[in-house]
Structure 1
């Protein structure tokens, strides 16, 4: 159950519900041109490490940013030296991957130095990428140095945008140019109501858990590459498959690795793309390797689905390889570690042999039905009247908060707003969620519950 925050503002909606996938803007350039300073300027706070020494930034780090109401992810990269060796070569490779997987590239050049041979070499790589490029002429601190920026027209990649990352000069015009270069924002999707539109299913899980094998098994043919090497899939892959007389759109995603490895190579971007895939999906099938103990990554992926407000199905793969002892221990692991997702339909499958594949679609349909369930207000309030009568909130400090009225604020994550006479403790809110599920089902979907506390008359303005 969601924590009760911001009661006076009321319910704000599930994360990611109103917007599509967030585009990615990569900031690249040779060392010490001010990339991290520019990133700090864009996000409005000092998070990227800045030091007057080349090579301080080695990995890519992503930050959420907003400009003129448009959200995007800005990725700070290490200094790019195309012909580097050793560690510098690894940094250059990370920058190259940033370009490959970004929607827009911000190419930062030190206007006080001018275009160098390294800058020109980077320009050639950017041209071959075919990605939109916004040329940033940094360190233009006053009108007198704007002529330095004009000289960068010689790079042949469009207009140089003069900025001072340190002072903020010209940063607004630069961000306007970035927004113009971003792909058009798709209209808000109305989940499941498009005429004949296929329902969208994201396949999530750790690397090498069998997501691509499952997709191929469902399709009845080899649609995506399968390899024993973890991480073969990098970008989300959409496949439309006919199952049970319906067309489904499956999104096969790169495996999510451990938290400390997310900043390693392409896995960092794989995680970004996986999050975007989840935002586009209506239901997530989280695959777990049943032959191995439940890992922290498995629990984190399930938590990510719950936080996104999407419907959830858990598929235990490689079931054909389990003996009785492993099945016994797996049941104990599930009961102990997945208590926050006991409501999710569970299927035991084998992507390799096709065992129990016929059970996957009914589980997905069950989760979607729970995700879209609405309880009539009259039934809901009768339920709460009975609940409060039989199991009232404990008295705290001489006061006993009560649920005065309840309404379901939305579906496609069921969302409830409780109008109360006081703050409901977390334990009582968990009890409310458990009883809501017992009474009305909601199988396969997270539930969001918020409170709106009634003000005392004496405190009204």
Structure 2
């Protein structure tokens, strides 16, 4: 049985004490919520369509149109998308996955070569491939080179002519037959022209179920967000734990723009890792591509169950690191701090880091900590046990009887401070929800912030909650006017 808020046992116990929840009002910013996180059974695996093409042909705009929402980061410059990004789509009652890729150029070098490699990997792992060509430009030498590779593919391939915003360009798409990939389907990703016909064709091409299915169990994999400031090694860590080049890694900070979703087997369990864009600025002050990347990162944190915050152990803890940790804490997600680049840490840096932890991260002393090196693979295996500990704390529920018995002893030893000449009494306590653990204290008066922190600290000493935030809410009994 899964009950939230004050369950029947809580209400009966409160009634026996003469306590009516309706007589109490929230005395702080935390509202007592009856909603509890967690979903039902995982949906069955869906077939995958890889969307490929040269840079700046409108792949991400088209993907946003086909999935019916603005997910992929779009900007009027080439090369915004670099990794392969998976998005869930639904059309005519059928689910499938669209994989947006970076611009594919067969003879690319440097960073663009890594982007092209991601597109090639998407093609090899997808159930079908869609080549996107800019109809306003026509088939270029790069398009022809890509088409030659696709003609040798053992996957079904379809051709999409995008940026067909009016009838004048429709006739020009006939010239794309020479690519040898069959009928080109004209569509406008910007206006939606022809998108319905394209979606119908996609359903015809895709199989009913994916070729390669990874079993994840009835409940589905736990969702893990990799977050941190730019260039701390998030993509390198994802590549290390996944055992493949899943994210583009480059010396240039900010290589990742869209969140990169990956199913990863770690310590005998399947996890869903999401690599996110490095957060440089506050969302309010960011602009352009950086603004949308920040929004996607915040959404990835909100959608996750546990966040892995990567910190560069070779450098002093920065304000940016603290801001990212604050985002995770405010979202109420379980937290694991991973100090990366440990292979670069010497004895002097370890001593300095100990002082920084005591000074800068004192508010998240409860977080799980792991020291790793994504480059060498050092201690990466320790991440999975830390994730399990944090998630177990995040899901933990304390029985009401045990909670109140413990709280009575704590208050007897250390009563609340007097306020306004009166000492408030704690009448009853209950755990209103999990994910994160949220406790409600029913009192006769306001409890000072310092005393609430004291209660939280004692809660952690008694019940653990390692790796999970704990929220404490106070509800003060309203004074009833005397009836004459």
**TM-score of the aligned structures, taking structure 2 as reference length:** 0.59
Q: Report the 3-state secondary structure (helix = DSSP H, G, I; strand = E; otherwise coil) of the residue aligned with 1:248.
A: strand
What is the CA-CA distance between 1:457 and the residue it aligns to?
A: 3.3
What is the CA-CA distance between 1:258 and the residue it aligns to?
A: 2.6
Q: Is the 8 Å Cα contact of residues 15 and 308 (structure 1) preserved in structure 2?
A: no
Aligned to 2:33: 12
What is the CA-CA distance between 1:196 and the residue it aligns to?
A: 4.0
Q: 1:324 to 1:130 in 2, by over 3 A?
A: farther
The 2-side partners of 1:220 and 1:237 are apart by 15
* 1:4-403 pair list within 5 angstroms: 10-12=31-33, 124=163, 131=189, 133=191, 195-259=218-282, 262-403=285-426
What is the CA-CA distance between 1:237 and the residue it aligns to?
A: 0.8
Q: 1:210 to 1:8 in 2, by over 3 A?
A: closer
Q: 1:6 to 1:133 in 2, by over 3 A?
A: farther
What is the CA-CA distance between 1:456 and the residue it aligns to?
A: 2.3
Q: Report the 3-state secondary structure (helix = DSSP H, G, I; strand = E; otherwise coil) of the residue aligned with 1:258.
A: coil
Whether 1:404 and 2:416 are equivalent positions in the alignment is no
Aligned to 1:184: none
Q: Report the 3-state secondary structure (helix = DSSP H, G, I; strand = E; otherwise coil) of the residue aligned with 1:457.
A: coil
The 1-side partners of 2:244 and 2:165 are apart by 36
What is the CA-CA distance between 1:13 and the residue it aligns to?
A: 6.3
Q: 1:13 to 1:234 in 2, by over 3 A?
A: farther
Q: Is the 8 Å Cα contact of residues 188 and 194 (structure 2) preserved in structure 1?
A: no
What is the CA-CA distance between 1:12 and the residue it aligns to?
A: 3.0
Q: Is the 8 Å Cα contact of residues 30 and 473 (structure 2) preserved in structure 1?
A: no
Please identify runs of 4+ aligned residues in structure 1 that moved more than 4 A.
4-10, 13-18, 91-94, 123-134
What is the CA-CA distance between 1:263 and the residue it aligns to?
A: 1.9
The 2-side partners of 1:129 and 1:429 are apart by 59
The 1-side partners of 2:238 and 2:304 are apart by 16
Q: Report the 3-state secondary structure (helix = DSSP H, G, I; strand = E; otherwise coil) of the residue aligned with 2:481.
A: helix
Q: Report the 3-state secondary structure (helix = DSSP H, G, I; strand = E; otherwise coil) of the residue aligned with 1:286.
A: strand
What is the CA-CA distance between 1:418 and the residue it aligns to?
A: 0.8
Q: Report the 3-state secondary structure (helix = DSSP H, G, I; strand = E; otherwise coil) of the residue aligned with 2:378.
A: coil
Q: 1:93 to 1:227 in 2, by over 3 A?
A: closer
**TM-score of the aligned structures, taking structure 1 as reference length:** 0.61
Superposition CA RMSD, Å: 3.8
Whether 1:442 and 2:465 are equivalent positions in the alignment is yes
Q: Is the 8 Å Cα contact of residues 11 and 450 (structure 1) preserved in structure 2?
A: yes
What is the CA-CA distance between 1:390 and the residue it aligns to?
A: 0.4
The 1-side partners of 2:483 and 2:278 are apart by 52
Aligned length: 317
Q: Is the 8 Å Cα contact of residues 224 and 274 (structure 2) preserved in structure 1?
A: yes
Q: Report the 3-state secondary structure (helix = DSSP H, G, I; strand = E; otherwise coil) of the residue aligned with 2:453.
A: helix
Q: Which of 431, 434, 446 is matched with 2:454 structurally? A: 431
Q: Report the 3-state secondary structure (helix = DSSP H, G, I; strand = E; otherwise coil) of the residue aligned with 1:449.
A: strand
Q: 1:455 to 1:8 in 2, by over 3 A?
A: farther
What is the CA-CA distance between 1:261 and the residue it aligns to?
A: 8.9
Aligned to 1:147: none
- For residues 124-145 of structure 1, what are the alpha-carbon distances to aligned partners after superposition, in whole Å with 9 as ceiling and x for unaligned? 58799954749xxxxxxxxxxx
Q: 1:10 to 1:294 in 2, by over 3 A?
A: closer
Unaligned 5+ segments in structure 2 are 1-24, 40-68, 89-135, 137-161, 167-185, 196-215
The 2-side partners of 1:264 and 1:331 are apart by 36
Q: Report the 3-state secondary structure (helix = DSSP H, G, I; strand = E; otherwise coil) of the residue aligned with 1:334.
A: helix
Q: Report the 3-state secondary structure (helix = DSSP H, G, I; strand = E; otherwise coil) of the residue aligned with 1:200.
A: strand
The 1-side partners of 2:469 and 2:165 are apart by 43
- For residues 197-224 of structure 1, what are the alpha-carbon distances to aligned partners after superposition, in whole Å with 9 as ceiling and x for unaligned? 1111000001111000001111122121
Q: Is the 8 Å Cα contact of residues 228 and 311 (structure 2) preserved in structure 1?
A: yes
The 1-side partners of 2:426 and 2:27 are apart by 17
